[in-house]
Structure 1
């Protein structure tokens, strides 16, 4: 959209962290004051081998409360209902029921006995450090290969039609020890929140839910022509009011907790790709052990396989799965967790459980999916997040065709009914909520209505997003632009603001004024955007018109991501930074987006630019008189433009006032064209420009991913150098992904060019193998950028009267060049996640090292706040 890409994502992430910091200060003086809470924890083992049992179902009979054991056989369960029984069930073992004491915390060490129906053929494997592992003559590997060979026919896509209802529940909680929460005196007036602590989910720590969302959908799939349709029937979520974008948080949660498809070769979780234990190449990267074979109550024969990565630090899983032995080789259940040696951003522990149910045709469909994640700033920190996403599926209908219109149109359709109360949700939920989850809704609602909380959130939003509310309709900011400095303006003060959605969802107004104490000049901006639909100007698909006027300074060839040019931190620059522009710009454009993610933008701009600082526009004379060189005070261009963009399957993190695309494997094509209109509103030049940009993320499984951007452009007509392609340079100390970080401002210009940028993240592939470094949770980055271009003879100064000299330094030496001889290239190596939110790169300039005042090496950093 019209704002810097990525600001909204950063805003959402910082908002979540701010909520954590806020809620972490809540008084927990009544942690144990809940009455009637029954909490049971313990370990489940095999009665004969004493081996820990993974994935044992643990539940309270007569309730919907249940859990399962982890990789060490541990479990924790809690209920507010007065029940005195707890039950343990596991395929191949006898169901065990124990008596418990209602209203008390207790520990049970459970030993399950093998079921008599278990087959006599059992393969027992000793401790793996005593056995040389091999794929050869390994029945477990043979079975995995059968699963791989039958994957396609066991996927839902193998049916002609599939229909089912889906219920999804996602929640986030603050985690800390009860003692530390008790000692914290911050915001003790909110102690009603901390009465809702859960002390049974994580050993030794309390869980304080602060966000929960539920969604009920109807889903349709058609094989040919392939189509997917999701109809959202109902949704419910915690509402933090005007200060937190609930829709944006919901979208970000869905982005983090993506669906887990065990049949995919690579499973994306928390923006990382993990190799599935039944991937095509799984036997190359995993170790497999056949633990036993069992029969279910229905007579179904199953095999239990355990798996673990050959390399403990690789992005893979550890766990067990059950697979059918009736010739279908379908997965019946999976219980797995991320290998302990894997370092993921913020994640200390991550567990996944998948259950499948049998269809009438004998095949299986996913009936329940659960993902639990424990987040923390450090591995040993008590404080952190606890996140959980549970998805259940029911009312499966196989090969029952619906009318064609059912599969057409938008992929996601919302048909939400107004006024759905708790009675509806109690009848519609696939699982009932716990008392803690129910209380989360009411407690946060009470919190949001408190003036002290709203005041705290107001200031917190100002620190995070840079805007401070000044009444209901206006925000003042961005705060980090209020003060900056540069060689032309000297000390610069700026003050501005914008309207909020309370003013209007269809209209947004922005303005600022600035003053430079050195040049003693005022600068202004005034802009407005109007939505031509009944939706917000940010909500996809957009149809809006924008008009703006700006009188301000800029640096030729600087294009920033994530930050604004007069940000205080960008006042610090390397090398000479005294060639600036004064600009006066009138702009109007119209944006139209379509549901298929095609869009076009039509624009019109009148731009008057005047050189500032040491930059001069010296016109080359025709040699007929004494005034062969003449200094021009300004250039004026009038330009009409059109932009076509296609981003197939693009998804957004959508917010109230920002949105940003979510990177995926699909390419994005952007074609831009512009024409100079000589004689229109003072335009002095006639020219045409065209540029094509293609970007795509390539996932390389265990090797991480690469973001690749290619671009080519051409300028038709004879124009002075300011209207050529002035290549994006960066002399700040902030690392800019789409700029050349060791190129000087105005160093290169072209009228035809081609470029490629490759930014590869190894995602811990190397550092996770280094014993000491892997504990730091650092990530490795490698970047390469190359630019090649040229300037045609008709656009070269000195040879063409009327053109402008290329800029020179104080000694008259040129500082602006063309790229005919060789491409400009630079490369960098970087590390990410220092303190979990910063990336630092060592950048090496590879060509044109003989140019004056260039840096061959440089260190650049930027915020890259990733969960």
Structure 2
């Protein structure tokens, strides 16, 4: 995610201070109603007479239309009603409410007539009866109804800065680059002026088989804008955009758009969450098509609104969709969204998707200022159904690219595009190369990389991360750190990483050095990984603290609650080999020598009273990970897995080797986990982790499973947020972690509160485990005693007959990026320095 956020942050830093020029000469708003029933009419076309400036009424019949010039009249047009022209007054702002009269000629064509206004209900509603027929016939109309299928797909993705003001266009830095800007119809999403910044094309042959269930995609050609690789990771941009703009399958119960799950208007539960209305009957060469309008029962939920077109025959197939989202939806940064799906009748008599278009406009403000407009258009042709597909078609990876697919010339694209590119779109490739030559653009991108990613490039080496340069704790005191890493510009096979740190209280130097060699001539961060790494680290660590996505000496994590004076000085010597396969199975083999010295309030004391100053172990480990269908946000110097509905399995075996390189203990440690995200449609999603471990052998407490605790004020997903460091140890345990996000399902129903676009979160964590007598220093001789506070009260415990449990209720999406949880600890409340309640916060960027 870093490269994407850096990319958008750079543009924001460059353009944020510019606000589009105001001074609009004509703004008109109002409501359109039926002259007979007095009901509001949605989707009425409203235009300034004699111009292309127009809009539509929303689902409640309301509209607002603006023009920078003085206008004289408005026209109102809707199928089945008389066209109305209203003269305008010479005022800047005015309101026109209108009643449209039915057109008797048009009404003669309509088969289904509305009745007087009644309370909406599903029972005896012909529109609901129709949508239930569509739902009942979904399986026969889906691609999965065929034994085999193949087709060609062409994808075109465009990204532009939108709503660009004339004032901004005329800035000095763009004086010689006005050709970069494009104009569009102001009725489209994003406004009149656009600054294109990205274009991507892809041509793919796709294959499907039902029995056995298999899918294959062969990329024939791929082309995209390439930014300076020193500043932007082009592959990371491509993967991120493809994640946000996935293929849209209206027949699925849930449609994924911009990393959110929207309930389809033809989902099994659609009549519960949507209102449906039959609004027209149309004809095409194959028969009648019924126009069915739909709207959310609650406009803030993750639902669509718009129209769906259904064949009036025994198949009840979808022949077209035109939908978007309500302006009140609990979706961050999205000003507007428009989705169009066109289906064509195929040789089998069924309907197949011929073209899909997703257009979305983003901005920090819902109404004003510049933003970003993203558009993905997909065209589908050459369908073949129930043909014999050889097994060789499906061999290898599920997605493969032909040799040279990324280097196709213009002649290839001119011949094989299934859709057309306008002259303006064709120029984007050249124009972006020109944009990158603007010095201010380069400076802004460099600044964004430093501020957001945390690294400053110095040729083939980059310094960072900046948030670790300064921190403090009770043992080291004030701590300074400086380090960095090499980049692929130095070598694609060899990577180095290092840092040095100094504590002014303990007056000790800490440092880290690693060298990594790639065995497949790819970046060590690129899938599939295959590398060997050797490293040495001399540094401090808090026993039982495990952090996600941040370094332990991050400045913000220096602030901790309670007594926090236990620390280990560690020397780690490591040798690791990692191998990933195309099916997302991977294994690791590693050797580690670990010498640890307790510090601060932590000490190692035998039962006879002798203190141990140093403990050394040598370990050999092997681990396996299986993550089917896993995708990544891939960068040059990082790789972030994308959380999805597929499970991730982990297993690790570690053997302690006594007598090898000074190792003092023999033991065997087994650890396994399963993690999965469960999507629950309108009720949001749950992230669930099951984990368990078992240690064979007699060991001191510092080598047992020290359960992940958190004494910072940050909410950590995989740690116990009200457990103290080193409070519990086990030699066998099992745990469950459930974190559920309701996506605002309840807050969306509350007046006033729903305007804040807050989202509810709940979590529950339980840990059941214990110590066998041989590893309990109170029952077995020859073990280190559990640590105690200065007053002699015990600090470390074994779990008893009850599992440790804690839960939280939280509010997310505060200011669109903050989550705050009220956490409760349910038991073991008599342990010293324990808090039953706590408030924790977490920063999370979501759409």
Return the TM-score normalized by structure 1.
Answer: 0.87
Contact 2:539 2:570 in 1 (8 A): yes
Contact 2:806 2:825 in 1 (8 A): yes
Show the counterpart of 2:4: 12
Pick closer, same or farther for the CA change 1:591–1:114 going to 2, 3 Å. Answer: farther
Match of 1:604 among 575, 591, 602: 591
| Match status 1:426 vs 2:414 | yes
Counterparts of 1:607 and 1:747, CA distance in 2: 22
Pick closer, same or farther for the CA change 1:420–1:47 going to 2, 3 Å. Answer: farther
Counterparts of 2:462 and 2:397, CA distance in 1: 35
Counterparts of 1:223 and 1:66, CA distance in 2: 48
Within 5 Å, which residues of 2 pair with 1:34-183? 120=109, 122-125=111-114, 130-176=117-163, 178-179=165-166, 181=168
Match of 1:323 among 310, 313, 322: 310
Show the counterpart of 2:448: 460
Counterparts of 2:768 and 2:727, CA distance in 1: 13
Match of 1:770 among 734, 743, 750: 750
Show the counterpart of 1:247: 235
Show the counterpart of 1:624: none
Unaligned runs of 5+ residues in structure 2 are 22-27, 66-75, 83-97
| Match status 1:353 vs 2:353 | no
Match of 2:280 among 292, 296, 300: 292
Within 5 Å, which residues of 2 pair with 1:795-814? 795-814=775-794
Match of 1:672 among 638, 652, 666: 652
Counterparts of 2:64 and 2:238, CA distance in 1: 29
Worse-superposed segment, 116-125 or 460-469: 116-125
Contact 2:164 2:193 in 1 (8 A): yes
TM-aligned CA deviation for residue 229 of structure 1: 0.9
Q: Per the alignment, in what secondary structure is the counterpart of residue 361 of structure 2?
A: strand
Counterparts of 2:44 and 2:496, CA distance in 1: 56
Aligned residues: 809
Unaligned runs of 5+ residues in structure 1 are 1-8, 30-40, 59-64, 77-87, 95-108, 621-627
Contact 1:643 1:671 in 2 (8 A): yes
TM-aligned CA deviation for residue 194 of structure 1: 5.6
TM-aligned CA deviation for residue 203 of structure 1: 7.3
Superposed CA RMSD in Å reads 3.5
TM-aligned CA deviation for residue 21 of structure 1: 3.1
Q: Deviations over 1:565-613 (max 9, x none)?
A: 0111111111111110000010111111111111111111000000011
Within 5 Å, which residues of 2 pair with 1:709-858? 709-858=689-838
Pick closer, same or farther for the CA change 1:193–1:22 going to 2, 3 Å. Answer: farther
Contact 2:222 2:406 in 1 (8 A): no
TM-aligned CA deviation for residue 137 of structure 1: 2.5
Q: Per the alignment, in what secondary structure is the counterpart of residue 280 of structure 1?
A: coil
Show the counterpart of 1:640: 620
Could you list the structure 1 runs, at least 4 aligned residues long, displaced by more than 6 angstroms after superposition: 26-29, 45-53, 65-70, 72-76, 88-94, 111-119
Counterparts of 2:738 and 2:803, CA distance in 1: 15
Contact 1:92 1:295 in 2 (8 A): no
Worse-superposed segment, 276-285 or 711-720: 276-285
Contact 1:167 1:391 in 2 (8 A): yes
Within 5 Å, which residues of 2 pair with 1:618-657? 618-620=605-607, 628-657=608-637
Worse-superposed segment, 694-703 or 793-802: 793-802
TM-aligned CA deviation for residue 174 of structure 1: 2.3
Counterparts of 1:22 and 1:781, CA distance in 2: 35
Show the counterpart of 2:666: 686
Counterparts of 1:410 and 1:857, CA distance in 2: 50
TM-aligned CA deviation for residue 51 of structure 1: 8.6
Contact 2:236 2:634 in 1 (8 A): yes
TM-aligned CA deviation for residue 75 of structure 1: 13
| Match status 1:282 vs 2:287 | no
Pick closer, same or farther for the CA change 1:311–1:458 going to 2, 3 Å. Answer: closer
Q: Per the alignment, in what secondary structure is the counterpart of residue 736 of structure 1?
A: coil
Q: Deviations over 1:19-69 (max 9, x none)?
A: 33334568999xxxxxxxxxxx999x999999968599x9xxxxxx99997
Contact 1:556 1:580 in 2 (8 A): yes
TM-aligned CA deviation for residue 440 of structure 1: 3.0
Contact 1:673 1:689 in 2 (8 A): yes
Q: Deviations over 1:247-286 (max 9, x none)?
A: 1111111111122111111212222222211112222332
Q: Per the alignment, in what secondary structure is the counterpart of residue 735 of structure 1?
A: coil
Contact 1:26 1:191 in 2 (8 A): no
Return the TM-score normalized by structure 2.
Answer: 0.89
Pick closer, same or farther for the CA change 1:857–1:10 going to 2, 3 Å. Answer: farther
Contact 1:578 1:614 in 2 (8 A): yes
Pick closer, same or farther for the CA change 1:749–1:692 going to 2, 3 Å. Answer: same
Show the counterpart of 1:83: none
Show the counterpart of 1:570: 557
Counterparts of 1:20 and 1:462, CA distance in 2: 15
Worse-superposed segment, 776-785 or 118-127: 118-127
| Match status 1:221 vs 2:208 | yes
Counterparts of 1:845 and 1:353, CA distance in 2: 49
Within 5 Å, which residues of 2 pair with 1:264-413? 264-296=252-284, 298-413=285-400
Contact 1:546 1:589 in 2 (8 A): yes
Contact 2:5 2:452 in 1 (8 A): no
